[in-house]
Chain A
Amino acid sequence: MKIVYVELDRCIACHNCERACLFHKAEQRAGSTANIFVSVDMEQRRIFAGTCRQCDAALCMDVCPVNALTRDPLTSAVVVDKQTCISCGMCIIACPYGYMSLDGSSHMATKCDLCGGDPRCVQMCMADALHFDSIQSLAKQRKQNPDMQVGLRAVSDKGDVAP
């Protein structure tokens, strides 16, 4: 399946992905908390960015007491059914990566839903640090060529990973 992943070496912390997410959600009246996060650690001078990995074995889905988390049949993204969510916060505890949160306005669980297969954050990542593709195809390529030093953008230029 295709997921959104971050090539951390390319992220220059412009925060446009957070904004793209936020503005898209606001337009859809889908809440006020971004589902992708960028942080800058000034002490270490390090940039970190990340979002939901749409795990195959998704702990958030496993723990949800009301089955409010399901797979979108089209994109295979784990999505929240707001009619069902009871805001218990179990999924937030369960996510090993910290990519589940409670939305600031609706107080229901919120996470990346891949914008239905057209993630806005990727469209608005001008550093080309965000990619929307299958991580397996990249892994396969790296396995075949363990010395590969190039970033994903360079790989995609060779036609193996879609930009």
Chain B
Amino acid sequence: MTERTVVENGTVPTLCRMCSNRCSIVVHIEDGNMVDVRPLAGNPVNHGKMCPRGRASLDVFYHKDRICKPLKRQTDGTFIEIGLEQALDEIAKKMLDVKGRWGARSMGVWKGEAIGFLQQEEYARRFAHAFGTPNYFSNDSACYNGRFLGHHLVTGFWNPFPYYAEADLILLFGTNPPVCHPPFMAEFADAKARGANLVVVDPRLNPVACYADIFAQPLPGTDGALAWGLIRYLVNAGGYDPTFVEQHSVGFEDVVEYAQKFTPDYVEKETGVFAHVVVDIAKLIIQNRPKISYYMGAGLEHHDNGVNNIRAMVVLSCLSGGLDIACGLGWPASMPRNELTLHDQLPLTAEKPIGADRFPVLYDIRKECHTMTAMDYMLGREEYPLKGLIVTAANPAVTNPNTGKVEEALKALDLLVVNDLFMTRTARLAHYVLPAASFLERSEIHIDPKYQRVFLTQKVVEDPGIKDEYMLWHDLAWRLGFGERYFPWDTENQVNAYILEPSGITLKDLEAHPEGIQYSPLKYQKHLSRPLPTPSGKLEFTSAYLEKLGYAALPEYVRPYHLRHPSDAYPLLLTTGARKTLYYHSRHQNLEHFRKLHPEAEVEMHPEDAAGLGVENGDQVRIISETGEVTVAASVLHKAELRRGVVEMYHGWEEWRINFTTFDLINDPISGFPLLKGVPVRIETVK
């Protein structure tokens, strides 16, 4: 690389993008080399602390395997280096070729999250629409959208993180905060120091559950039954505010009626959580309302019934008084800003966005196409073919379900362009691989809805041979003939200024405040003075919108796939996706010092399950599902750490891809989410 730091000696403040939490950091530079990364004080997100991932951003930047030059695949499958301008010329030509032969919608754009966030996403959406294709895909199809929809359908908004520190009771469902969201650990500890109660519901025991007053290990995918059991207890015991319910919600009578079958005994049979524990949790909720934080992790959305389970939990949260309070369902104010998406200017709904027929809510609310259905379009099994795809910083060949099919589909494309930092599994299948700019090489606006703060991530270093995320789309757009109209800005910083314009905050302000600027004061209980952003203006315990689309209006509990289709051939339940402290999805495995601590994939097993199969710790085992199989080492845990009958494996390994075993076409009917936590499997020892 021929990098240049923005200052020769000194420090540059920015935001970390080694995971999604966006902590404030300071990069130290000596003689043009980045030598250290330290936390920056003043940002409430990370309160002057950071985790080891932040420091490792330098190891990513200076990594010997960084892609620095565009690569073009030869007919024999090998790659050769070509010039950047040549690569973009050829890609643009091939895109026009696809458009000419099959129509613009046969091109797609797929955004990952290895290098940016909202702004990166909006570039990709803008580019796709300007090109004329509605087919925008993203990693959010398998993480985030399910919870977004589950909340949005009830309240009209989703603020992903409650302010735990103020809660008197914290309920965690399917999540491991120290690992998933390190910055919030301090809030937990603060709440605990004030004497808050903690309830953890998860088939897997994470260390945070050592502090739990109640730790329950349910069967995966049965959270909806638990939520309804708690709702039943609350409404029957009068543990809610009737005036609030009457003034601010629709469908309460239906909720009361539907909840009645979820007696504690029924819930026990369905979820495996003891009836008296269900009652104890309900009593804690009644005692502590309204100051309760409910947090649902990806553990709830990766199911074929996930959205309704989440909706039921949100209904419960609202009944216990959580609407628009700091530790509950905070309703974030948005910052006035210019959006980059062209959904309103250039609507493309008539172009049959992929998956919009199967999952109309996903497209309607998220304007996002369904990645799993897209594979069938790539394989020519659907109404029109998907022939070309530009993937930026995503790795579906690892993280999308049914890896065998994903690879087959990606290989069937006429044009696959991957923009990334490293030669990922997905990049290896590409026709062109472009060198991406890491977060240290970019500058974008970041908005944090929890604290209502806006930040500028500042460019620390640049390499003239590598285009930043904006310039990639810009240069392609100009070649394709819509640059002047839709990508008129010359630099990413000009885009930043455009986005900020309506806010009254300038780039200069943000440069002067690397810890961020609060764009509007935090105010709560706003529903008392204005309607909620739902179709009815009220909390939608029943959704007329969903009913019109043919779904049940109530968040009815549907038994998960494994209970509907019990199988002797696949007696264990595989959950995937429990996080590792140092890795982030499929990222960071190539950092040597991280790899030393997590050297290889393991499937976690309950000791009795392992003993029954004659498996000992460290043995190689085959995990086999209806879709495929993977061979990995077994890690036999303490009996409390995992529910018996459940096995768990990390989802991001490049070498051991557990998604060979997961299903792509067993989906949540509303979000289209894949079933990743409750896949029936069997385990066999390798002879």
A interface, CB within 8 angstroms of B: 9-10, 12-16, 19-20, 22-23, 26, 40, 42-43, 45-47, 123-129, 150-151, 153-154, 163
Contact = CB atoms under 8 A, between A and B. Distances in A.
B188 A127 contact: yes
A22 B190 CA distance: 28
A151 B38 CA distance: 25
Interface stretch (B205-213, B332-340, B466-474): B205-213
A151 B191 CA distance: 11
Given A10-B189, A123-B38, A128 B52 contact: no
Instruction: Across the A-B interface, give the 10 residue pairs with the lowest CB-CB distance, nearest first.
Output: A13-B207, A10-B189, A127-B185, A42-B638, A14-B178, A45-B210, A151-B193, A126-B182, A12-B178, A19-B52
A42 B641 CA distance: 8
Contacts, number: 99
B483 interface: no
Given A22-B593, A124-B49, A124-B52, A16 B207 contact: no
Given A12-B207, A13-B210, A154 B193 contact: yes
Contacts of B190: 153-154
Contact of A128 (B178, B179, B189): B189
A123 B49 contact: yes
A13 B179 CA distance: 10
B640 interface: yes
Interface residues of B, number: 37
Contacts of B38: 123
Interface string B170-195: 00000001110011011011101100
B683 interface: no
Contacts of A123: 38-39, 49-50
Contact of A12 (B55, B188, B640): B188
Interface in B591-617: 593, 597
Given A42-B641, A126-B186, A127-B186, A9 B192 contact: yes
Q: Which of A12, A40, A124 has the most CB of B within 10 A?
A: A12
A20 B205 contact: no
Given A23-B55, A40-B207, A128-B47, A12 B593 contact: no
B581 interface: yes
B189 A14 contact: no
A66 to B, nearest CB: 31
Given A19-B52, A124-B55, 12 more contacts: A9-B192, A9-B193, A12-B189, A14-B185, A19-B581, A19-B582, A45-B215, A46-B210, A126-B49, A126-B51, A127-B186, A154-B193
A4 B415 CA distance: 56
Secondary structure dominating the interface of B:
helix
Contacts of A151: 189, 193
17 contacts: A12-B178, A12-B188, A14-B185, A14-B207, A14-B581, A19-B582, A22-B597, A23-B52, A42-B640, A43-B638, A47-B210, A124-B49, A125-B49, A126-B182, A127-B178, A128-B49, A129-B189
Q: Which of B39, B46, B177, B182 has the most CB of A within 10 A?
A: B182
A26 B596 CA distance: 12
Nearest to A10: B189
Contacts of A153: 186, 189-190, 193
Q: Which of B39, B179, B211 has the most CB of A within 10 A?
A: B211
B189 A20 contact: no
Contacts of A10: 186, 189, 192-193
A12 B638 CA distance: 18
A79 to B, nearest CB: 22
Interface string B41-59: 0000011111110011000
Contacts of A26: 593
Given A40-B210, A124-B51, A154-B193, A16 B593 contact: no
Nearest to A151: B193
B503 to A, nearest CB: 30
A12 B181 CA distance: 12
A17 to B, nearest CB: 9
Q: Which of B55, B186, B188, B207 has the most CB of A within 10 A?
A: B207
Nearest to B207: A13
Nearest to B38: A123
Interface in B408-432: none
B60 to A, nearest CB: 14
Contacts of A23: 52, 55-56, 593
A12 B193 contact: no
